[in-house]
A = this chain, B = another copy of it.
Amino acid sequence: MLKDKLQSDSLGQLADPTYSRVREKLREDILSGYFISGERLKIAELVERYKVSQMPIREALQQLQGEGLLIIEPNKGAHVRKVDKQFLESIYEIRQLIEVYLTVKCMENLKQKDLKLLNQIQKSYESAAAKEDYTACLQLNRRFHSTIYELANNSEGLQILEKHWQLINTLRLTYGFGSRRTAEVIEEHRAILQALESGNPAEVETAASVHCIHAKADLLAQMGDRLK
């Protein structure tokens, strides 16, 4: 029995609901610049473009509004939020506050086995980087950080950082992938690990800050003139 409906990806997992796929595609189309900043998104056009009906489109729009990429006004529709330098900087400023806070706070609950796990993830990252497997790098990078954040026991902060991740990850995939920053990332993660092991909050704060600032600078540099 052939299920031609399934548009499962190469990982072989089941197809997501339509609204999820539309959301991903729309996010890409906004961040890649297909839709112009400030443009009004008309549902009829999107229905045409993505070949689905209104409901999944609207759900996707709601979700992207939650991510800050759209502004929806009742009875007036959705506008694309300007993704300019100022927007990205505002996100990274907030990110830094939260990342540093959570990384320091995780020390309260950090056990030996957690440090072991982090070191293990780090090792995997380093070997993925050596093999130039950047997809694995992205995933391991994320796992490294979310392991730390989850230890901090702060659901709100975690949720905000997850939201940002969607956005940043899409930007990374759109503009220059396989960043040559892997070597730097390895250094910075090592510094964070070492600081966590030392148990010195000030050291952790510094290491986390540095990592975040560099990540921001790298992304902005990669996007370069396409911004604004």
| Residues of A participating in the B interface, judged by any CB pair closer than 8 Å | 16-17, 20, 55, 58-59, 62-63, 65-66, 68, 74-75, 86-87, 90-91, 93-94, 97-98, 101, 153-157, 159-160
Point out the residues of chain B lying under 8 angstroms from A157, CB to CB: 90, 93-94
- For A17, give its contact among B55, B75, B91, B153 (CB under 8 Å): B75
Complex alpha-carbon distance, A55 and B154, angstroms: 32
Point out the residues of chain B lying under 8 angstroms from A66, CB to CB: 62-63, 65-66
Q: Which residue of B lies closest to A60 (CB)?
A: B62
Point out the residues of chain B lying under 8 angstroms from A154, CB to CB: 90, 93-94
Complex alpha-carbon distance, A28 and B94, angstroms: 29
Distance in Å: Cβ of A212 to nearest Cβ of chain B: 14
13 sampled A-B residue pairs with Cβ under 8 A: A17-B74, A20-B74, A55-B58, A62-B62, A63-B65, A86-B153, A86-B155, A90-B153, A90-B155, A93-B156, A94-B98, A94-B156, A94-B157
